[in-house]
Chains A and B, each alone.
Chain A
Amino acid sequence: MKVNNLAIDIEKIKEEYPENPLEFFKGKRLCLFKACLEKYFPGVRFGIKNLCEALDLKVNICEKQSCCSGTFFQRNLITRAQFAAINERNLNEINRQGDILLVSCNGCYNSLLRGRDFLKTPEVYKKTQEILKGVKEEMGGEKYPGQYEILDNPNLRVMHDLDFIYLIRESVINTLKYDLKGLKIASHYGCHYLNLDRDRDTETYLRDKRKLEDLIELFGGEPVDYSEREACCGWGASQIVLHPGDALKTTYSKLKSAENVEASFLLMPCPTCLYTLSKPEFRDQIEGLFEERLDIPTIHLNELIAILRGCEEEKCIALRRHSPRIHEIYETITKE
């Protein structure tokens, strides 16, 4: 029983392609993981897809992929083995059509790695195998070999969008039409990017937590530090749904801290954090609780890339008409 870590080895790519890491991805099949919350922010998916296509990379989406189920695992509504089985079913399908899985959401990224991680425990591995065997019987057999088995040694590797964009940043910059000159930007990474230790051996654990700031600088903006930089957005594994009065204190502190340093907007690599930090109803509730209106705009990195690439507003920040001052930021960046 050997369960390999699916996180991509960024250091190895850097070693093999020191001049141009984009070369590593040429000819490979990139699959975009469908994060549920992208529904509210279609620009997140559009941004990365549009960028990949501009860089002549092959990109696809797996129709058969379900939600990562992290929400249900976190609230004890499914067991570790069930969670791992859902994960294996997704990975199995994606492995058939992709070499690299790009993930736009910290929660999904955590789930994908965590599901594999659980399989390192022999009892969980055994139970997951039994569950998948039961599914195979229920479905009347396999449509392809290994459909209902734990992926032994998959070709597939998982990569967070932020790590991908950062790795190929020198190529990304050549595709941009606008820059961030004159803008002060605060970064929010999100807990499940900052604190993950499942990819401890790769560069994303304790070091290199300045990728967003480096990208802001590269794109001509000024990164600004703020006291709550590493704090949670307030989502807290659905705490904002369960105990909004308490969790919104976390959201308030984060937004207030970024406003205090006069950031033009808050940049992040996760649609779940974006949902928490931008939802108009939450901003209203914050105003009610703290008697203070906070209107700092919030943008996902993929949306920002689309704006900088000169894509039309409707595509970049679709469905976000009610997000605070988002149109203003779009106008500022795209001013000729």
Chain B
Amino acid sequence: MTNVNIESDEEWSYDFLESLVEDIEENRNIMQCISCGKCVGECPAAKISNFNIRKIISKVLRGDRSVLKDSDIWYCYLCERCKRVCPKEGINIPLLIINLRNESFKKGYGPKYNDLTKYVDMASRFLTNGTVLDDPLDGELSEDRVKELDKICDFARIKYVFKARNANQQKDSDKEESQEKKESEIL
């Protein structure tokens, strides 16, 4: 049994799960969860944060959508340890977490803003030279390949992060320009 107090069958609702299954069929397998807690016991994120996959699965199975607002889902290490130790076949917890994060984004909750900003430079480098680091070991990708990556990433969040960076840069440069203008006027 879970450590969640279930008073009656009415508390169970599979609507939320069904909406997740529509996106990823594999999510249906979490109905097999026996709440044994092996995943939590072996989870590196559970050791250092409030991330508790047993509770998350329980919330999904009860149809409790508050899990999408929960910052805990952003603490998963995606290390796949839970998959390895799970006594049931086919429960794919890392994929469920990625699915929940997607839903969280769609609802406008998402990760903390500061967390996303840490990806701005990486996103920018990926879309301009095909790697996540500056000055890659083997030089930059050819223009053609970069164009392909750019097209593949159309409408992806990575592009919004990239555009946000450019907009911020433009804002900073406008600000700097107007400051310089003001200073020159004073002088």
Residues of A within 8 A of B (CB): 34, 36-39, 42, 45, 61, 63-64, 66-67, 69, 71-79, 82, 85-86, 89, 121, 131-132, 134-135, 138-139, 191-192, 194-197, 205-206, 231-232, 236-239, 241-243, 246-247, 249-250
B132 to chain A, nearest CB (A): 5
User: Of the candidates A85, A138, A191, which one forms a contact with B77 in the assembled complex, judged by CB atoms under 8 Å apart?
Assistant: A191
Against A, the Cβ 8 Å flags (1 = close, 0 = not) of B50-94 are 000000000000000000000000111111110110000000000
A194: B residues at CB distance < 8 A: 81, 84
B101: A residues at CB distance < 8 A: 76
Tell whether, in the assembled complex, residue A236 and residue B80 are in contact, meaning their CB atoms are under 8 Å apart.
no
Tell whether, in the assembled complex, residue B136 and residue A135 are in contact, meaning their CB atoms are under 8 Å apart.
no
Q: Is B161 an interface residue (CB 8 A)?
A: yes
Tell whether, in the assembled complex, residue A239 and residue B154 are in contact, meaning their CB atoms are under 8 Å apart.
no
Size bracket of the B interface: 35 or more
Tell whether, in the assembled complex, residue A139 and residue B144 are in contact, meaning their CB atoms are under 8 Å apart.
yes
User: Of the candidates A61, A76, A134, A195, which one forms a contact with B98 in the assembled complex, judged by CB atoms under 8 Å apart?
Assistant: A76
Q: Is B25 an interface residue (CB 8 A)?
A: yes
Q: List 26 A-B contacts (CB under 8 A).
A: A34-B136, A36-B136, A64-B141, A66-B126, A66-B149, A67-B126, A72-B119, A72-B123, A72-B126, A76-B101, A76-B105, A78-B158, A85-B152, A121-B25, A135-B151, A139-B151, A191-B80, A191-B81, A194-B84, A195-B81, A232-B81, A242-B118, A243-B75, A246-B75, A247-B48, A249-B48
Tell whether, in the assembled complex, residue A72 and residue B158 are in contact, meaning their CB atoms are under 8 Å apart.
yes
Residues of B within 8 A of A (CB): 24-25, 44-45, 47-49, 74-81, 83-84, 98, 101-102, 105, 111, 115, 118-119, 122-123, 126, 130-133, 135-138, 141-142, 144-145, 147-149, 151-154, 156-158, 161
Tell whether, in the assembled complex, residue B137 and residue A39 are in contact, meaning their CB atoms are under 8 Å apart.
yes
Tell whether, in the assembled complex, residue B102 and residue A76 are in contact, meaning their CB atoms are under 8 Å apart.
yes
Tell whether, in the assembled complex, residue A66 and residue B131 are in contact, meaning their CB atoms are under 8 Å apart.
yes
A196: B residues at CB distance < 8 A: 80
User: Of the candidates B77, B111, B136, which one forms a contact with A232 in the assembled complex, judged by CB atoms under 8 Å apart?
Assistant: B77
Distance between Cα atoms of A114 and B132 in the complex (Å): 19
Which of A37, A39, A134, A192 is most buried by chain B, counting CB atoms within 10 A of its CB? A39
B155 to chain A, nearest CB (A): 9
Tell whether, in the assembled complex, residue B149 and residue A86 are in contact, meaning their CB atoms are under 8 Å apart.
yes
Which 6 residue pairs of A and B lie closest in terms of their CB atoms, listed nearest first?
Answer: A236-B77, A191-B79, A66-B130, A195-B80, A77-B158, A237-B78
B130 to chain A, nearest CB (A): 4
B156: A residues at CB distance < 8 A: 77-79, 82
B152 to chain A, nearest CB (A): 5
Distance between Cα atoms of A196 and B66 in the complex (Å): 30
A63: B residues at CB distance < 8 A: 138, 142
Tell whether, in the assembled complex, residue B78 and residue A74 are in contact, meaning their CB atoms are under 8 Å apart.
yes
Closest residue of chain A to B45, judged by CB? A236
B152: A residues at CB distance < 8 A: 82, 85-86, 89, 131-132, 135
Closest residue of chain B to A38, judged by CB? B137
Distance between Cα atoms of A76 and B76 in the complex (Å): 13
B88 to chain A, nearest CB (A): 13
